[in-house]
Amino acid sequence: MTNEIIQQRLNEKFGEQLTEWEAQYGLLSFTAPSDMNLKVMQFLYDDEQMRFRFLTDLTAVHYPDRKGEELCIVYHLHNLVDNVRLRFKVYVPVEKPDVFTVTQRFSAANWMERETYDFFGVNFIGHPNLIRILNVDEMDYFPMRKEYEMEDPTRRDKDNEMFGR
């Protein structure tokens, strides 16, 4: 199983809807529209040639400069039979960060989706228990979004020389 075969099979099934193909360090990566995440995941799981039946990781990345696509949900899948991995991404706007849950296909996605919701605010539609998992329930923001200063610019107790500035 090669990256070329995977890309060919996915293009046969979904055509031009899949974009941003790249293979950094041998890891095939591609992007799909957010409303297609379940269809793509189902195909990758069910197809007897693909067999991506292990969800290694699920997280998000905040790109504040990508207007209308600020949040990127990233799935890492593994075909254990052929020992092949791939990265699958979908982008959603920060104003409406909705994407379908994959917990029906991958039970391990339950906690990963809750963590992604907790830190980035991604709303996984159909998730059985989408509540905060690590942060306090009263929190009204999502701490991993790049919406805040990295440090307080008003602090006077820092010696910039100690921080390489």
Q: Each residue of 39-70: pLDDT tens digit?
A: 999 999 999 999 999 999 999 999 999 999 99
Q: Looking at the predicted structure, is the pLDDT value of residue 155 above 90?
A: no
Rounded to the nearest 5 degrees, what angle is found at the Cα of 33, between the Cα atoms of 118 and 146? 35
Q: Look up the pTM and report it.
A: 0.86
Mean pLDDT of 76-105: 95
Spatial CB neighbours of 59, under 8 Å, sequence gap ≥ 6: 73, 74, 112, 115, 116
Q: 3-state class of 135 per DSSP?
A: coil
In whole angstroms, what separates CA 55 from the centre of its chain?
11
Segment 12-42, tens digit of pLDDT: 999 999 999 999 999 999 999 999 999 999 9
Q: What is the mean pLDDT of residues 130-143?
A: 89
Residue 112 has a pLDDT of: 95
